[in-house]
Chains A and B, each alone.
Chain A
Amino acid sequence: DTEVTQTPKHLVMGMTNKKSLKCEQHMGHRAMYWYKQKAKKPPELMFVYSYEKLSINESVPSRFSPECPNSSLLNLHLHALQPEDSALYLCASSRLGGADNEQFFGPGTRLTVL
């Protein structure tokens, strides 16, 4: 299995809703990532988990809350989002260590905040 899966594919939520995005990989990778991508822009790193521990938080607002329940799963909990948070949310994973850091991306969740 060489893919990263993400659910749901599309999500529409109101500013008062609470929702979660899910990501899964079975490649034995020990680093997992959340990126945010706006239209016609490159992915922007949000969070990095290594060995299920949060190692990088790129000053992301607290309305985004990541969680790594185990080495195969990564969640992103959403609460009180703003319309400007509408974007494609990408999950990725990679092996740990060294300069060999190929990241495998999932298909993303298209999020719309009304």
Chain B
Amino acid sequence: GESVGLHLPTLSVQEGDNSIINCAYSNSASDYFIWYKQESGKGPQFIIDIRSNMDKRQGQRVTVLLNKTVKHLSLQIAATQPGDSAVYFCAENTGSGYALNFGKGTSLLVTP
């Protein structure tokens, strides 16, 4: 969802459950997408990426799904752990250069 003011969308999950974080993009020319994880006080950390010629990519405990028809990207985290608590950003490379456009972010809170 969209963030309003200083409030990030927040997803709260129990440890061990699966998490799904969503992101919508608007530019049909976007050809490369990245998910970043940002813990408090740290810089964004690369999680997984996907190119526009793919609709699914899997990593260790993470899966990214890309639906170009509705311009939607999701990040699935399996067996969520307390260390997964962070803010997650999707980012897109629109192909017009080297700049990335970041989404507004989702705060993931994992409770024991």
Chain A residues within CB distance 8 Å of chain B:
4, 31, 33, 39-45, 48, 50, 55-56, 90, 92, 94, 96, 99-108, 110
B7, B46, B93 pick with most chain A CB within 10 angstroms? B93
What size tier do the contact residues of chain B reach? 20 to 34
23 residue pairs from A and B, CB less than 8 Å apart: A40-B6, A40-B7, A41-B105, A42-B105, A43-B102, A45-B99, A45-B100, A48-B97, A48-B98, A50-B98, A55-B97, A90-B43, A99-B93, A100-B32, A101-B93, A101-B98, A101-B100, A103-B34, A105-B36, A105-B43, A105-B44, A105-B45, A108-B43
Classify the interface of chain B: helix, strand, loop or mixed: loop
CB-defined contacts of B49 to chain A, threshold 8 Å:
102
Chain B residues within CB distance 8 Å of chain A:
3, 6-8, 31-32, 34, 36, 41-46, 49, 51-52, 87, 89, 93, 95, 97-100, 102-105
Which of chain B's residues has its CB closest to A110's CB?
B41
Which of chain A's residues has its CB closest to B44's CB?
A105
Report how far A107 CA is from B45 CA in the complex, Å: 9
